[in-house]
Structure 1
Amino acid sequence: MATHITLHYCTGCNWLLRSAWMAQELLTTFDGMIDELTLKPGTGGIFEVYVNDTRIWSRKEQGGFPDIKQLKQLVRDQIAPKHSLGHTDSHAGQSDS
């Protein structure tokens, strides 16, 4: 199945640069796994991330922005659950010891 990611961001809040940076991070981390990534301008303070039409983040519901590590983990869980994120990776229940 083709993987499509959409970053829907508010233009009035000037979140284009944040969205473009997140897009670049996702494209780099998931090189060859993302078929299409769309930056979708919006209004009203929107910042939402969709993977194949499934919303994985909403600024209004989650109360802010994901940090990049969290966003990569959310995307990974949708498109490639076994894909390692290297040193930034963590799984629930794992300890560092």
Structure 2
Amino acid sequence: MLNTFKQKISNLTLVPSGGGCFELSANGELLYSKLKTGQFPDEQGIIDLLEKRLAKK
């Protein structure tokens, strides 16, 4: 994922969590929540979400 976006991501923070939580946010905007969907996203799904978010700029 970092190879795909290395020119567009200036900062990446991983925050450990418990209880099966996996959330993806960009600039404070929640892009994905495993708690809402009940499933873990695949890598391409994460890339697609980030591409869509970066296109909004």
TM-score by length of 2: 0.86
Task: Give 5+ residue unaligned stretches, structure 1.
Answer: 1-24, 82-97
Counterpart mapping for 1:6-45 below 5 A: 25=1, 27-45=2-20
Q: Which residue number in structure 2 is paired with residue 72 of structure 1?
A: 47
Structure exhibiting the larger radius of gyration computed from Cα positions: 1
TM-score by length of 1: 0.53
Task: Give 5+ residue unaligned stretches, structure 2.
Answer: none
Q: How many residue pairs get matched?
A: 56
**Structure 1 or 2: more strand by fraction:** 1
Q: After the TM superposition, list the runs of 4 or more consecutive aligned residues in structure 1 that deviate by more than 3 angstroms.
A: none
Q: Which residue number in structure 1 is paired with residue 26 of structure 2?
A: 51
RMSD of aligned residue pairs (Cα, Å): 1.2
Greater relative contact order structure (CA < 8 Å, 6+ sep): 1
